[in-house]
Structure 1
Amino acid sequence: MRLIRAFSFIVLLICSFSCAQNNSRQNDLKKWFESNGKIKILTTTRMIHDLVKEIGGDKVDTLPLIIGELDPHSYQLVKGDDEKIARADLIFFNGLNLEHGPSLKQLLYEKKNAYAIGDYLKETHPEEVLYLGKEVDPHIWMDVSLFAKTIPVITEALSKQDPANKEFYKERSFNLEKELKELHLSVKNILHEVPEEKRYLVTSHDAFNYFARAYLATDEEVKTGSWSKRFQAPEGLAPDSQLSLQDINFIINHLRTYNIEVIFPESNVSQNSLKKIVEAIEAKGGVIRIANCSLYADAMGKEGSRGDSYLKMLRYDAELIASNLFPQKGGILKCNE
């Protein structure tokens, strides 16, 4: 009887929390639709949302389209999305084929008031955009210094929409660039406290290539293009959990080659692929562990967590990775500690 009551109490708590989140989202949505003299901005991801919000300040109302742990790679338009897109004065999306759900992708590229910040980056800094084979890697936000280079297209679009506040946006973009530069250096310092021979990362899917190049590789590896050994993942650019025996063996060989002892799950990606790798290694008498907490990549953390903003999620990822790769320095970080 006590067990039933305890279970019922837990279910009630979960339901209450879920209802509170839904109510908060509905309130935000209602306010965003209200006419209040502010520029109404829709972003596809929360990472872009954070940049736009910082630059726009109190002159804008921003709303992310893809929330929670939804996958931006496969997101399809749902009821109500058409109204949001129609209401928005400006739309900012990642591009580089991140939002490749057919219904969403087509609509975004048809809108004249929509800006693909990743496509802008590809045009202005083509040498810094990565490819896996012939497929462009869209995860540009995982390198803070690179993501900062999209600020001009946001600032320009806001200034064009609201010329009277051009200097306001210019000043805020300058401050944001400074803040992102500091974060970039901080993340790099955190990870370079890990000995070079231990700075290897394996996660669920290919979301950390930019991160590895910026924060795990040596300067010489970046210069020669040999940095890619610093990161591997069993799944491709868009997670699908479909692994072949060849995929599993490739990762196992990589783990053995670089004496990697831990692999990292991601917050919005199934751990099935990682568990298959662990099972395969254990079947051969080896040992590998899955990190105690999940990294943030395609999705940010819940409100109140250490990953609930773009700046916080990158710092948290760095600290979590460093503590697992080199626990001798200060122990393994606890989830959202």
Structure 2
Amino acid sequence: MKKWLVNLGLTIAAICLLTACGNNQTSTKSNDKVEVTTTTGQVADVVKNIGGDKVEVTSLMGPGVDPHLYQASQGDIKKLHDSDIIFYSGLHLEGKMGEIFEKMSNDKPTVAVADSIPEDMLLSANSANTHDPHVWFDIQAWIHVVDEVEKELTKLSPDNEPLFKENAANYKKELMEMDQYAKEQINTIPKESRVLVTAHDAFKYFGHAYGLEVMGLQGLSTDSEYGLKDVQALVDLLVERNIKAVFIESSISEKSINAVVEGAKEQNHEVIIGGELFSDAMGEEGTEEGTYIGMFKHNVDTIVSSLK
């Protein structure tokens, strides 16, 4: 039996035990804050901006963590169990945690925030009847997540509805400003150079929203494998299109992209690493890149400075 299946079995057993222990018990919290557990930093950032000092947010996945491959520990299960509400991204981003969320939803609000985005704003994945989960790279789509979080927090803490509404409105204004900034900056890149090459296919929404052609060595999930044939195909494309820069990602090993750079070099075509982008994870807490807007601006500025 595969190791992750064994771990999943242990995790589900822990859920059942915690859920059983938690039934019919009254919470004994020391404050009136809404206790929230999220998966990714992007989702946590939305909750923090809307909830302000009325929420206590715990994010399971920190900087450099790949949500596609993430496996919950028993400590994570306790955090999920102890919270008042769980927000996760959804669309199978947290691929190995699906059964955990299903179990938890029997005991508390468990919200896949991407489900709030209208289907006509979602991009298709390579396989049938599935969608690309990297929705936070289209700010216009991500704004629907803000509304969803505001709605769910208000259900739990109706007395704070005016504050949540005000915070959500202010946050959406900041998001719209960043959306406009991204459009203006990307438009400074010559059209023929608007090609974004990364380790995995996480930037389709970004490309769709801001007019870049996007190519990834791996598929939508880092769980997918890539081989020499994939590397060679991308190398040939770089040479043919005279693309001079590729990008690494903070949550993925540089190994795959370095193989592409070396392959191009063997064909006498120089390709540089244009910089590090934040894809599935944000930066360190306390830094500008540790916020959603700061992460987004970093990506825009890094892409523009390398491709312009």
Give 3-state SS (helix, strand or coil) of 2:189's partner: coil
Report if the CA contact (8 A) 1:241-1:273 is conserved: no
What letter is aligned with 2:218? E
Q: Distance in 1 between matches of 2:270 and 2:283?
A: 30
Partner of 2:89: 94
Partner of 1:26: none
Shift of 1:240: 4.9
Partner of 2:6: none
User: Does residue 296 of the first structure (1) align with residue 262 of the second (2)?
Assistant: no
Give 3-state SS (helix, strand or coil) of 2:57's partner: strand
Partner of 1:106: 99
Q: Distance in 1 between matches of 2:236 and 2:71?
A: 36
Give 3-state SS (helix, strand or coil) of 1:265's partner: strand
Partner of 1:119: 115
Report if the CA contact (8 A) 1:200-1:258 is conserved: no
Give 3-state SS (helix, strand or coil) of 2:147's partner: helix
Q: Distance in 2 between matches of 1:67 and 1:159?
A: 26
User: Does residue 312 of the first structure (1) align with residue 294 of the second (2)?
Assistant: yes
User: Does residue 142 of the first structure (1) align with residue 137 of the second (2)?
Assistant: yes
Correspondence list, 1:218-257, <5 A = 230-240=213-223, 242-257=225-240
Report if the CA contact (8 A) 2:81-2:104 is conserved: no
Report if the CA contact (8 A) 1:252-1:281 is conserved: yes
Q: What is the Cα-based RMSD across aligned positions, in Å?
A: 1.7
Shift of 1:304: 4.5
Match of 1:207 among 185, 198, 202: 202
Give 3-state SS (helix, strand or coil) of 1:264's partner: strand
Normalised by the length of structure 2, the TM-score is 0.85
Q: Distance in 2 between matches of 1:156 and 1:305?
A: 28
Shift of 1:118: 1.0
Structure 1 residue ranges, 4+ long, deviating more than 4 angstroms after superposition: none
Q: Distance in 1 between matches of 2:297 and 2:80?
A: 32
Partner of 2:47: 52
Normalised by the length of structure 1, the TM-score is 0.78
Q: Distance in 2 between matches of 1:151 and 1:302?
A: 22
User: Does residue 152 of the first structure (1) align with residue 135 of the second (2)?
Assistant: no
Report if the CA contact (8 A) 1:200-1:216 is conserved: no
Identity of aligned residues (%): 34
Q: Distance in 2 between matches of 1:287 and 1:213?
A: 27
Partner of 1:264: 247
CA 312–161 in structure 1, closer or farther in 2 if over 3 Å, else same = same
Q: Distance in 2 between matches of 1:190 and 1:266?
A: 21
Partner of 2:264: 281
- 1:218-240: per-residue Cα shift (whole Å, max 9, x none)? xxxxxxxxxxxx00011111225
Give structure 1 stretches of 5+ with no counterpart.
1-32, 218-229, 327-337
Partner of 2:19: none
What letter is aligned with 1:296? F
Aligned residues: 276
Shift of 1:34: 5.8
Give 3-state SS (helix, strand or coil) of 1:98's partner: coil
What letter is aligned with 1:169? F
User: Does residue 63 of the first structure (1) align with residue 46 of the second (2)?
Assistant: no
Give 3-state SS (helix, strand or coil) of 2:51's partner: helix
Shift of 1:249: 2.8
Report if the CA contact (8 A) 1:187-1:215 is conserved: yes
Match of 1:42 among 16, 37, 47: 37
Partner of 2:171: 176
Shift of 1:264: 0.3
Report if the CA contact (8 A) 1:201-1:263 is conserved: yes
Match of 1:195 among 164, 182, 190: 190
What letter is aligned with 1:246? K
Shift of 1:116: 0.2
